[in-house]
């Protein structure tokens, strides 16, 4: 397994190998959710590249960024076990040089794998690829959950035992919305309220946002129609902010 710490090293590696390239971008602290993407890429492409970059622009506060779990050695061991071909671990200075304004590097990717857990990210990347005519297929992958329903996340390690229990409220709330929709409740507002109320009953949790949106445009929906909807939420559980989502109805 090649470990490329710079773009030059990655490009050099790329020039030495042929075949279809599958990309799995991550922020490290890998779990089975990430590995499900890697395994799918392994099945569907000839060369699997995983990137590990804790992207500062994805964090609201510098404390949150500092506290993000990091364990590169463990990540590399897991990726070696999955027979990943190359791990790209760029540094911050390389990704965000002081004077950058625009930067798009598309290295003959064939497919890039993204988890549905980060639903808005997935849709934004799809839009970007379409609008910039990037010839890469974006492959959405289902959310991998713990056996009790909690979506796997690198942030789960920060949950204190009581908060780990309380964190189940996300799955409970989303399941309630899915069941209500299935039982015939079409109102986006009513479904959102049901979710917010379910979260409100868990004293250790505080909803950051709850949205019932169009699965493609992410615009709020007043009524869940034939195209279905996605219920998205972000919830603080103790000091940890967790996100999750579920599809409602049948998206076309």
Residues annotated as catalytic (active site), given as ranges: 34
Distance CA 142, CA 154 (A): 16
Q: Does 48 bind ligand AMP (CB under 6 A)?
A: no
Distance CA 19, CA 217 (A): 34
For ligand AMP, the binding residue among 151, 177, 191, 195 (CB under 6 A) is: 151
Span from 28-36, 95-103, 168-176, 212-220 in contact with ligand AMP (CB under 6 A): 28-36
For residue 21, the SS3 value is: strand
Tokens of 132: 């910039």
Q: Does 144 bind ligand AMP (CB under 6 A)?
A: yes
Q: Give the distance from CA 231 to its chain's centroid.
A: 15
For residue 87, the SS3 value is: strand
Axis crossing angle, helix 188-200 with helix 168-182, rounded to the nearest 10: 150
Q: Does 111 bind ligand AMP (CB under 6 A)?
A: no
Q: Name which of 15 and 32 has its Cβ closer to ligand AMP.
A: 32
| Tokens 């991550």, residue located | 26
Span from 76-84, 149-157, 158-166, 202-210 in contact with ligand AMP (CB under 6 A): 149-157
Q: Does 34 bind ligand AMP (CB under 6 A)?
A: yes
Q: Interface with ligand AMP by CB under 6 A: which residues?
A: 26-27, 33-34, 36-37, 114-115, 117-118, 141, 143-144, 151-154
């Amino acid at each position: 397994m090649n470990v490329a710490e710079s773009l030059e090293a990655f490009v050099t590696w790329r020039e030495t190998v042929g075949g279809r390239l599958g990309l799995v971008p991550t922020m490290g602290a890998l779990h089975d959710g990430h590995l499900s993407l890697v395994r799918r890429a392994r099945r569907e492409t000839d060369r699997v590249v995983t990137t590990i970059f804790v992207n500062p622009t994805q964090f609201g506060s510098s404390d949150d960024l500092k506290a993000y779990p990091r364990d590169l050695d463990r990540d590399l061991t897991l990726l070696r076990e999955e027979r990943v071909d190359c791990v790209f671990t760029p540094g911050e200075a390389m990704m965000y040089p002081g004077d950058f304004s625009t930067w798009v590097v598309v290295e003959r990717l064939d497919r890039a794998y993204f988890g549905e857990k980060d639903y808005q990210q997935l849709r934004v990347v799809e839009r970007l690829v379409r609008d910039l005519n990037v010839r890469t297929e974006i492959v959405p992958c289902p959310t991998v959950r713990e056996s009790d329903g909690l979506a796997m996340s690198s942030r789960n390690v920060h949950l204190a035992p009581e908060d780990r229990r309380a964190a189940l409220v996300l799955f409970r709330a989303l399941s309630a919305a899915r069941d209500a929709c299935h039982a015939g409740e079409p109102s986006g507002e009513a479904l959102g309220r049901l979710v917010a109320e379910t979260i409100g009953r868990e004293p250790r949790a505080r909803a950051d946002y709850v949205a019932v949106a169009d699965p493609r445009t992410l615009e709020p929906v007043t009524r869940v129609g034939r195209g279905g909807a996605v219920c998205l939420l972000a919830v603080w559980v103790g000091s940890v902010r967790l996100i999750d989502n579920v599809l409602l109805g049948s998206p076309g």
